[in-house]
């Protein structure tokens, strides 16, 4: 018995080996190499100089880095809850038995198929002053007096709103699809029984639908937090991190440090900082899910 177990393990390992080799070679090894980089002054042309913990102490005192992390956190706070709540609402709309069901599904999901460049440029067209859709509409309905403009993309707070709205429109479809499929897993009998017992819509949602969606909600929230933390491209295209670097997220700072300032060692150090943050969040999520041992 014991022998065959061992054999089975060896067999499994053999099957896994090709993948394992590639995984170690292209994922684990670069990660170790990356940690190594953080101890060097390392340029694109690979002029390297060992500088010990300098990159780390520089990072601790780097106001720009903390600001950039702050901006990424702002983005996470702005988008995660809205992204989850809106996805549920949209999924509920699309899950209703209605003739428009198919239309809803495609309309809600459609923006997700756009590339980040397309989505961002649409965002620019919508929010830019003088000719943008939002200001034009506001002018049209006289909410905005003539000869005044709202500068969505050049005021810090407004540009956050613009960026968050564009991202929301563009990416909510993915969460929506996850919720929709989860909702369809909930057996109809439960709803029927609830109706027979005289439950109203609100009760049905909070007592049945939402609890059933609990596991998927946790998953979506975590995925969303990680995705939002990694925000870069749409901000880069829409505001370039401005005004005055006030919307520059940590990934953009890493990119600029590595490839524009030619300082790969320090960029790597900041990458591991971001990595540490995401790791802590992931572990926290893992712990949260396993606390009662029930939910997957």
Partner 1 sequence: MKKRLSLAATSLLSISLLLTACGGNNAGNANNGSANSGNNGAAATDNANSGNAAANAGGGNAAATDSEEKVNLNFWTLFDGGDGANMQTLVDEFNKSHPNIQVKNTKLVWGEYYTKLITAVGNGNGPDVGISHTSRLPDLIDQGVVTDVDDVAEVAGVDWSTYNQNLLNATIVDGKHYAAPIDTHPFIMFYNKKLLKDAGLLGEDGKPVLEQSADGFMKFLETLKAKLPAKVTPFALSNSNDDPYRLWWSLYSQQGGNDIVSDDLKSAAVDKEKGAKAADYIQKLYTGGYIKKNDPDFYKNFQSGTAAIMMTGVWATGTWESTKGLEFGAMPIPKIFDQEATWGDSHTIILPVTKDNDPAKRKAAIIFADWVATNGQIWAKAGHIPSKPSVLENADYKAMPYRSDYASVASTVKFSKPSTKNWQIRDNASFKILNEVWANKLEPTAAMDKLQDGVQKVLNE
Q: How far apart are CA 66 and CA 60, in angstroms?
A: 8
At residue 197, what are phi and psi to the nearest 5 degrees? -80, 0
Q: Which stretch binds partner 1 (CB under 8 A): 74-82, 106-114, 129-137, 200-208?
A: 129-137
Residue 261 near residue 181 (C-beta atoms within 8 A)? no
**Applying CB under 8 A, does 286 fall inside the site for partner 1?**
yes
Options 89-97, 183-191, 205-213, 252-260: segment touching partner 1 (CB under 8 A): 252-260
For 37, other C-beta atoms within 10 Å of its C-beta total 21
Only one of the segments 48-56, 121-129, 136-144, 206-214 lies at the binding site for partner 1 (rule: CB under 8 A); that segment is 121-129
For partner 1, the binding residue among 4, 5, 99, 130 (CB under 8 A) is 130
Name beta bridge partners: 41.
49
- Residue 53 tokens read as 């913990």
Give the DSSP letter of residue 267: H
- The answer to whether residue 182 forms part of the interface with partner 1 (CB under 8 A) is no
Return the range that interacts with partner 1 (CB under 8 A); candidates 102-110, 195-203, 204-212, 242-250.
Answer: 242-250
232 is a contact residue toward partner 1 (CB under 8 A): yes
CB 43 within 8 A of CB 263: yes
Under rule CB under 8 A, residue 235 binds partner 1: no
Smallest gap from Cβ 278 to partner 1, in A, equals: 5
Q: What is the DSSP letter of 295?
A: -
Out of 28, 118, 161, 193, name the contact with partner 1 by CB under 8 A.
28
C-alpha 182/C-alpha 210 separation (Å) is: 11
Which of 94, 251, 253, 273 is close enough to bind partner 1 by CB under 8 A? 251
Q: Which residues contact 95 (CB under 8 A, 6 or more apart)?
A: 101, 180, 183, 184
> What is the total count of residues that contact partner 1 (CB under 8 A)?
46
Stretch that binds partner 1, among 83-91, 104-112, 181-189, 254-262 (CB under 8 A): 254-262
278 contributes a contact to partner 1 by CB under 8 A: yes
Distances (CA, A) of 196 to 110, 132, 143, 152, 187: 37, 51, 48, 51, 15
Which positions touch partner 1 (CB under 8 A)? Answer: 23, 27-28, 30-31, 34, 43-47, 124, 128-132, 147, 149, 151, 153-154, 226, 230, 232, 242-245, 251, 254-255, 258-263, 271, 274-275, 278-279, 282-283, 286
């Amino acid at each position: 018995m014991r022998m065959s177990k061992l054999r089975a393990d060896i067999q499994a390992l053999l099957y896994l080996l090709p993948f394992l080799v590639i995984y170690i070679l292209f994922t684990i090894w670069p990660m170790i190499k990356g940690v190594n980089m953080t101890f060097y002054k390392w340029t694109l042309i690979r002029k390297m100089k060992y500088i010990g913990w300098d990159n780390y102490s520089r990072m601790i005192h780097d106001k720009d880095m903390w600001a950039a992390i702050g901006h990424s956190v702002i983005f996470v706070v702005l988008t995660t809850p809205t992204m989850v709540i809106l996805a549920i609402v949209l999924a509920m709309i699309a899950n209703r038995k209605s003739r428009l069901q198919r239309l809803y599904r495609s309309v809600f999901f459609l923006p997700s198929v756009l590339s980040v460049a397309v989505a961002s440029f649409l965002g620019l067209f919508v929010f830019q002053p003088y000719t943008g859709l939002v200001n034009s509409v506001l002018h049209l309905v006289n909410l905005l007096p003539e000869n005044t403009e709202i500068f969505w993309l050049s005021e810090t707070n407004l540009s956050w709103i613009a960026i968050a709205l564009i991202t929301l429109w563009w990416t909510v479809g993915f969460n929506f699809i996850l919720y929709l499929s989860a909702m369809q897993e909930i057996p109809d009998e439960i709803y029927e029984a609830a109706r027979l017992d005289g439950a109203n819509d609100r009760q049905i949602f909070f007592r049945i639908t939402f609890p059933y969606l609990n596991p998927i909600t946790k998953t979506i929230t975590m995925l969303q937090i990680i995705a939002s933390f990694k925000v870069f491209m749409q901000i880069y295209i829409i505001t370039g991190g401005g005004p005055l670097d006030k919307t520059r997220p940590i990934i953009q700072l890493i990119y600029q440090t590595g490839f524009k300032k030619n300082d790969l060692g320090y960029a790597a150090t900041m990458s591991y900082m971001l990595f540490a943050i995401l790791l802590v969040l992931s572990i926290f999520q893992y712990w949260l899910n396993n606390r009662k041992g029930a939910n997957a």
